[in-house]
Structure 1
């Protein structure tokens, strides 16, 4: 039985719903949030009645209603199980339901909806160690508000235009200056503004990927891109990581075998391992790209969290946008609501992406782009990100030590960024389900695998691990799983 069932909240006595209706509502919510997944066995009638403090007849009635509504199925002599249900909308089962292997066999659906939905509805940030953003109280709301007030004082006529496909020109000119600081040469015509990196990936997938094409992604890596490439019919190939960064020997074998259309990679502060490319690794990746003729998409969304002194190498700096398509955004440092990202690439690629943008969304909101331009040009942003980096350093160390005391093993110890990749030694999906019941949003490592492979790894956002109850919950859960495993092992060791 899943550990998600270990802590089942009791019905609310003051609720206007009957006990049966409360049980049905509780189970439906957890099934829809994919805490209880298809094929999972529900708690026995006896156990649920005991944990809820209700009669067995109440549980039987609730289960029968859930069967009638299509949420559960009854298996004679075995119990009740979560039923596989048809998707209720385009995103309900992720976008990879049509993914096929090279041989034509149907691939396992990529389900990132559980984490994304709960991320969007997460409450207190300290309860969200699995969140992908910094907590709001770390961000500088006044920096954004001041820029908004400055814009409001400008002529109202500027808001009445249609915008352009490539985006607000002064912002693209400012981004050109920022890229020059990274030694990446790009004119404004080589920069296209997007609604975040998610939209940039969408444009690139539509332009480059055809059904059957191989796309190499990290294993682990940022999960939202998996479904988008799979929706194009791509064959996702997972490149493994080592504590020193991507396993380039494995990458070379994959490139020879699959002849990929593209590689997508975080070169700086990789999500979720926190590793960064060395010069030798970057040169080898570009050599492979040249030899085997594939595109490299470099996602540098965490670059501003990396101190200038941190030894990293960006692929676009070495390649100068000949074969590399460079992506970045400001959602990790300013606010996730400010959906302004950008693509820097060769001129002909920028033109093609601009054409895609016209067909899909016409333009991106110029209000957001003007707001970001104001923030970047008022001179406060640089000092602000310095403060963010300084604030992350001590909590990264504290969180690492807390995780080790709780029973985790760290993949590596990054010296910058906000993520730690840690091995719990127990099933991460069950761990995350138990966390959901206890009020914590955890990020199981299966969601960072292109094929959702079961794993014991989990990603932790060090800025969101401040809840005083979190260390005890993590340690108690790991210990409880080990207590279960020890008797089983002892039985297995007894000779026949």
Structure 2
């Protein structure tokens, strides 16, 4: 047992006693003791923690133990990490609890004249194809994700009391996870008590729950144009009319949004504020205020889909305005999840909204599916609370940054036009100058999956654009295919008979 004196000043953050014989790991002993001293106001907010090396030397532990402890304290909201400056004690504001509230009791997308539709793309995304041959996919390669953390979390859950794994979970979601999500949202300047958070089986279920709550057959739902294709068919199956709002580099076309809102009086507007799918562009602050103004004027509920949240480096590095941060969940319903950055197979997402609506959505979820997977939610909680997820997300962003500029230049060399070069995220919205439905059919014949632009618009009209995933563009066969097809297109435009003569 190592016994150390109490700190001469509160900011030194020494741990009085560490025991290698205890059933608790050294890391957890440090976390527990430092957290208790912060809770008891023995350590002042804003104070700098001892450096990792100094803490390790003074307590006779390895630097790795201190790093793990500090990461856990960051994840739990006790410390903040400042690049190049160290770790500091975070201002501790009490985690508020919402007051109790009373409970309240495609149709497939049609593609006229084309053999490709949303179902075609989704079905092929789930084929057992090598990821390197799927530049149209919407996920990162599995080797980019932290499989070890997921496996470790599941093993740890398996060692718990077996009875915890055999029963239904809580309809609103695993409580410790919702408490952890409260901290995560606070870092985005969104204030939400655990009672305002409802877990879902991914953002897909969250969107469906919200649409069922707000819309009836004949109602109108606004989406960006282009936007995530899967929701078009889902909304249409509910009898809703889906109307696209033109999306520009800094957000929606505000003039067009105002015109369409006055004309259609929509119930919902679903929008990606940060890292829009498929362009990876983000909403400007000016546009965000205008969206909220129009929504208030026409009584529109805004649904903010922030599934790519952790692929954005943060507002300190790049501008990123979230509508929920401006509105504080009054008119905005916030959705996010971890399928893109942690594991798609866990299917853990969440909704953050007002207390009253959260209760209604939890009741609706209970009627639809009883509960979501408690095991998956426990795994996500463990990964988030252990602190390593923050570094994992940073590694993914760094890896994408290393590929993006080089991949965009290669796209332009083979003949693609990039009108909106994204500064972050995994997607590029590229103009091929030809009908990308035809291009996608030819690519699939060679075992390459492309995502044609027609599928990203509620109009489903032919488009020259397509979504490309920079993390799935490393196979030389993809570049050979694109270069050949786009060169032949150019020849056809210059001399209609050139191809037939040369062949």
TM-score range, shorter chain: 0.7 to 0.9
Matched, 1:173 2:163: no
Structure 2 equivalent of residue 405 of structure 1: 413
CA contact (8 A) 2:226 2:247 kept: yes
Matched, 1:392 2:392: no
- Alpha-carbon distance between aligned partners in 2 of 1:153 and 1:122, rounded to the nearest angstrom: 32
- Alpha-carbon distance between aligned partners in 2 of 1:111 and 1:94, rounded to the nearest angstrom: 12
TM-score, normalised with respect to structure 2: 0.75
CA contact (8 A) 1:94 1:110 kept: no
Identify which of 437, 454, 460 aligns with 1:429. 437
Structure 2 unmatched ranges of 5 or more? 1-105, 499-503
After TM superposition, give the deviation of residue 479 of structure 1 in Å: 1.4
After TM superposition, give the deviation of residue 489 of structure 1 in Å: 9.6
CA contact (8 A) 1:220 1:241 kept: yes
| Structure 1 residues 3-402: aligned runs within 5 Å | 95-96=108-109, 111-308=117-314, 309-402=317-410
| 3-state DSSP of counterpart to 2:303 | strand
After TM superposition, give the deviation of residue 152 of structure 1 in Å: 1.6
Segment of structure 1 superposing worse, 293-302 or 232-241: 232-241
| 3-state DSSP of counterpart to 2:273 | coil
- Alpha-carbon distance between aligned partners in 1 of 2:160 and 2:394, rounded to the nearest angstrom: 30
CA contact (8 A) 2:435 2:463 kept: yes
| 3-state DSSP of counterpart to 1:478 | helix
Structure 1 equivalent of residue 456 of structure 2: 448
Matched, 1:476 2:484: yes
TM-score, normalised with respect to structure 1: 0.76
After TM superposition, give the deviation of residue 234 of structure 1 in Å: 1.2
Matched, 1:459 2:467: yes
CA contact (8 A) 1:96 1:110 kept: no
Aligned in 2, Cα 1:234/1:109: closer, same or farther, shift over 3 Å?
A: farther
- Alpha-carbon distance between aligned partners in 1 of 2:472 and 2:411, rounded to the nearest angstrom: 13
CA contact (8 A) 1:110 1:450 kept: no
CA contact (8 A) 2:281 2:423 kept: no
| 3-state DSSP of counterpart to 2:458 | coil
Aligned length: 391
After TM superposition, give the deviation of residue 359 of structure 1 in Å: 1.1
| 3-state DSSP of counterpart to 2:224 | strand
- Alpha-carbon distance between aligned partners in 2 of 1:244 and 1:164, rounded to the nearest angstrom: 39
Deviations 1:288-331 (A, max 9, x none): 11111010000000010000222110000000000000000100
CA contact (8 A) 2:227 2:457 kept: yes
Segment of structure 1 superposing worse, 355-364 or 476-485: 476-485
Aligned in 2, Cα 1:110/1:290: closer, same or farther, shift over 3 Å?
A: farther
C-alpha root-mean-square deviation of aligned residues, in Å?
Answer: 1.9
Deviations 1:132-178 (A, max 9, x none): 00001111111111111211221112112221210101100100010
| 3-state DSSP of counterpart to 1:473 | helix
| 3-state DSSP of counterpart to 1:311 | coil
| 3-state DSSP of counterpart to 1:403 | helix
After TM superposition, give the deviation of residue 243 of structure 1 in Å: 2.5
Deviations 1:99-156 (A, max 9, x none): 9xxxxxx999993011100000141111010000000111111111111121122111
CA contact (8 A) 1:96 1:109 kept: no
After TM superposition, give the deviation of residue 94 of structure 1 in Å: 5.1
- Alpha-carbon distance between aligned partners in 2 of 1:107 and 1:230, rounded to the nearest angstrom: 19
CA contact (8 A) 1:213 1:260 kept: yes
Segment of structure 1 superposing worse, 479-488 or 222-231: 479-488
After TM superposition, give the deviation of residue 372 of structure 1 in Å: 0.5
Structure 1 unmatched ranges of 5 or more? 1-92, 100-105, 491-496
